[in-house]
């Protein structure tokens, strides 16, 4: 393992430890990739929990679909879900096959079923196909994690092209409506929908106008849908990460020159690692959160939220 990797074998997530020093305060070198970016080539390597996440049977026998499950937060969620006993289908863009294969291997090594579904969620038809394939291959669906997103930093509103605007809204919010709508007929009482929003919903960076707007929309969608589905026994919640080190950042999400300081301004003083976000999804997916609906769980290193 390279010295600058953030994977750790020293302790699992259940071991008592100082959150300040659980991971180093990273200063990623300036680097650039074409979107969507490959985790395999990000420096330092984000920790998706391969060596550290310890399951305790909290999702035994569940069947989960995680969009954007090839890398970053979605990959960490897929790994955690599998170690907690769930079978997992992941979606990703065809260019991300290498990352997806790594996640599928880790899920399989946990003794669970891994299903890989490549495709583009800006295509409305694919949003339905994804659900149908996951249901067919997993034998049903209990947990839907809407996590795929596009984030492109731009200096001014005039720089945001119609193409970028439409792709960001298609990926982040329209696909969330479409995939969830297609999934509903398969979700029995006890099922859970978890949407990935962001601290950007409350603290929009001036460089992320389109992205931040979709994240605020995701919070509204989550809180409204949670009320609509409550009586059907389907719980809808969201997770709002702060700065987490993933391929999203060096592939256009953060200006290259800002990468060395990424995440250092939060109260904890460091960027988070993807596996540190995964337990929030496990909690919201499992029955232990049976009375939690319409909630946004913030996992952001201490930034105050409304």
Q: Which of 23, 53, 202, 211 is catalytic?
A: 211
Q: Residues 200, 249: contact at Cβ < 8 Å? A: no
Task: Report 90-129 residues binding Mg ion (CB under 5 A).
Answer: 96
Tokens at residue 247, please?
């391929």
Query: What sign for the dihedral angle of Cα 216, 221, 227, 232?
Result: negative
Tell me if 71 contacts Mg ion by CB under 5 A: yes
Please select the residue that binds ligand NAD; options are 83, 112, 133, 150, rule is CB under 6 A: 150
Give yes or no: 291 in active site: no
Please select the residue that binds ligand NAD; options are 248, 259, 284, 293, rule is CB under 6 A: 248
Minimum distance of Mg ion from residue 14's CB (angstroms): 27
Q: Of ligand NAD, Mg ion, none, which one does residue 93 interact with (CB within 5 to 8 Å by kind)? A: ligand NAD
β-bridge partners, 232: none
Minimum distance of ligand NAD from residue 252's CB (angstroms): 10
CA–CA distance, 147 with 144 (Å, rounded to integer): 9
Please select the residue that binds ligand NAD; options are 73, 173, 282, 293, rule is CB under 6 A: 73
Minimum distance of ligand NAD from residue 247's CB (angstroms): 4
Task: Report 167-196 residues binding ligand NAD (CB under 6 A).
Answer: 171, 196
Q: Residues 103, 70: contact at Cβ < 8 Å? A: yes
Minimum distance of ligand NAD from residue 182's CB (angstroms): 15
Please select the residue that binds ligand NAD; options are 26, 103, 143, 148, rule is CB under 6 A: 148
CA–CA distance, 226 with 51 (Å, rounded to integer): 34
Nearest to ligand NAD of 59, 239 (CB atom): 239
Question: Using only C-alpha atoms, what is the Rg of the chain?
Answer: 18
CA–CA distance, 75 with 116 (Å, rounded to integer): 12
| C-alpha to C-alpha distances, 163 to 27, 41, 122, 153, 291, nearest whole angstrom | 32, 27, 12, 14, 41
Minimum distance of Mg ion from residue 148's CB (angstroms): 9
Minimum distance of ligand NAD from residue 169's CB (angstroms): 11
CA–CA distance, 303 with 116 (Å, rounded to integer): 35
Please select the residue that binds ligand NAD; options are 154, 180, 198, 219, rule is CB under 6 A: 198
- Residues in the chain, total: 306
Q: Of Mg ion, ligand NAD, none, which one does residue 248 interact with (CB within 5 to 8 Å by kind)? A: ligand NAD
Q: Residues 82, 114: contact at Cβ < 8 Å? A: yes
Q: How many other CB atoms are there within 10 angstroms of residue 2's CB atom?
A: 8
Nearest to ligand NAD of 118, 294 (CB atom): 118
Please select the residue that binds ligand NAD; options are 72, 250, 252, 301, rule is CB under 6 A: 72
Window contacting ligand NAD (CB under 6 A); options: 8-16, 89-97, 223-231, 288-296? 89-97
Task: Identify the three-state secondary structure at position 118.
Answer: strand
Q: What is the DSSP string of 219-263?
A: HHHHHHHHHHHGGGT-EEEEEEE-SB-STTIIIIIS-GGGGGGTT
- Which residues have a catalytic role annotated? 211
Instruction: By CB under 5 A, name the binding residues for Mg ion.
Output: 36, 70-71, 96
Instruction: By CB under 6 A, name the binding residues for ligand NAD.
Output: 36-37, 68, 70-74, 91-93, 96, 120-122, 147-151, 171, 196, 198, 241, 243-244, 246-248
């Amino acid at each position: 393992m390279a010295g600058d990797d953030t994977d750790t074998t020293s302790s699992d997530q259940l071991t008592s430890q100082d959150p300040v020093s659980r991971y180093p305060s990273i200063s990623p070198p300036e680097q650039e990739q074409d979107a969507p970016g490959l985790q395999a080539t990000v420096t330092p390597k984000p920790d998706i929990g391969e060596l550290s996440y310890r399951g305790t049977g909290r999702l035994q026998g569940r069947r989960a679909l995680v969009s954007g499950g090839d890398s970053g937060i979605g990959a960490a969620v897929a790994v955690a879900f599998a170690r907690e006993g769930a079978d997992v289908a992941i979606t990703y863009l065809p260019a991300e096959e290498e990352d997806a294969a790594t996640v599928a291997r880790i899920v399989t090594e946990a003794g669970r079923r891994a299903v890989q579904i490549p495709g583009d969620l800006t295509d409305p038809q694919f949003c339905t196909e994804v659900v149908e394939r996951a249901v067919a291959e997993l034998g049903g669906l209990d947990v839907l994690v809407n996590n795929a997103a596009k984030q492109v930093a731009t200096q001014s509103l005039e720089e945001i092209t119609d193409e970028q605007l439409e792709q960001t809204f298609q990926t982040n919010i329209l696909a969330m409506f479409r995939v969830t709508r297609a999934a509903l007929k398969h979700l029995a009482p006890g099922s859970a929908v978890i949407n990935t929003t962001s601290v950007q919903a409350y603290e929009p960076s001036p460089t992320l106008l389109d992205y931040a707007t979709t994240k605020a929309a995701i919070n509204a969608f989550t809180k409204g849908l949670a009320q609509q589905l409550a009586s059907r026994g389907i719980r809808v919640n969201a997770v709002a990460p702060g700065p987490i080190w993933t391929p999203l950042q060096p592939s256009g999400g953060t200006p290259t020159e800002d990468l060395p300081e990424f995440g250092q301004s939060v109260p904890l003083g460091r960027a988070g690692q993807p596996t540190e976000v995964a337990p929030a999804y496990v909690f919201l997916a499992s029955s232990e959160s049976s009375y939690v609906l319409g909630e946004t769980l913030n996992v952001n290193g201490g930034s105050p939220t409304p």
